[in-house]
Chain A
Amino acid sequence: ELKVEQNPLFLSMQEGKNYTIYCNYSTTSDRLYWYRQDPGKSLESLFVLLSNGAVKQEGRLMASLDTKARLSTLHITAAVHDLSATYFCAVDKTSGSRLTFGEGTQLTVNP
Chain B
Amino acid sequence: GAVVSQHPSRVICKSGTSVKIECRSLDFQATTMFWYRQFPKKSLMLMATSNEGSKATYEQGVEKDKFLINHASLTLSTLTVTSAHPEDSSFYICSARAPLERVWGGYTFGSGTRLTVV
Contact B41 A106 (CB under 8 A): yes
Q: Which of B13-21, B64-72, B80-88, B100-108 contacts A (4 or more CB under 8 A)?
A: B100-108
The 0/1 profile, CB within 8 Å of A marked 1, for residues 34-56 of chain B is 10000001111010010000000
Tell whether, in the assembled complex, residue A95 and residue B105 are in contact, meaning their CB atoms are under 8 Å apart: yes
Interface size class of B (residues with CB under 8 A): 20 to 34
| Contact count A vs B, C-beta below 8 Å | 47
Residues of A within 8 A of B (CB-CB), count = 22
Is A99's CB under 8 angstroms from B112's CB?
no
Residues in chain B within 8 A of chain A (CB atoms)? 6, 32, 34, 41-44, 46, 49, 93, 95, 97, 104-112, 114
> What are the nearest 8 A-B pairs in CB distance?
A42-B112, A43-B109, A48-B106, A101-B43, A42-B111, A42-B109, A101-B44, A103-B43
A-to-B contact residues, CB < 8 Å? 31, 33, 35, 40-43, 45, 48, 88, 90, 92, 95-96, 98-104, 106
